[in-house]
Structure 1
Amino acid sequence: MEQIKLNKNIEVLLSTPLKILLKIYMLGETTVTQLVKESDGMSATTITKYVKQLEEMGLIEVEVAKTNVGTEKKIIKVSKKGLEVIDYIMKLNKLLE
């Protein structure tokens, strides 16, 4: 898990979907359940909505995997395009220090 230290200025500017993108990046591969646990009180419904938006924008990839008990779970990870966006966020973070 890679930690990113955001300054208060960038925290104010970032939208919720971009904060979720950063959280996915920090977690590596994750699931909606894990994102809910790691978020500041966001519901699974809210996280799912933003995950869908991020996927539609091409910023994340969602793969369906089988669990040990035969059910499906969605594995979420940042796409190449998403990594480029994160790079810009980090540049902005540094600029606003």
Structure 2
Amino acid sequence: MDFSTAERETLLEACRTLDRIDNLTAAIDRDGTMIPGSKEQMILHPAIGELRQQQASYVRLVASLNLPEDVAATNEFRQKRAKAGAQGRWDRDLRAVN
């Protein structure tokens, strides 16, 4: 595929966003979805909200590239796989709290 300069910048930002998503996911995997708050109460890991924002940003960036259907399908598969993994971690952490 040939990309314009603007599309290359968008693609680069999408790659950076994926890096941030990977780093946030690693932090959540390391710390768990629930962490001690300032008064030792269990709170939702702050990285979870940022992860959602980065995922939404990634979807918008990729959609703006108007990629062919087969490439878009690959991205949809990755998103579903990531969502399933996050749900599994969430369920595991909830069981640990209860």
Normalised TM-score (structure 1): 0.30
Choose between structure 1 and 2: higher helix proportion.
Answer: 2
Q: Which has the larger radius of gyration?
A: 2
Choose between structure 1 and 2: higher strand proportion.
Answer: 1
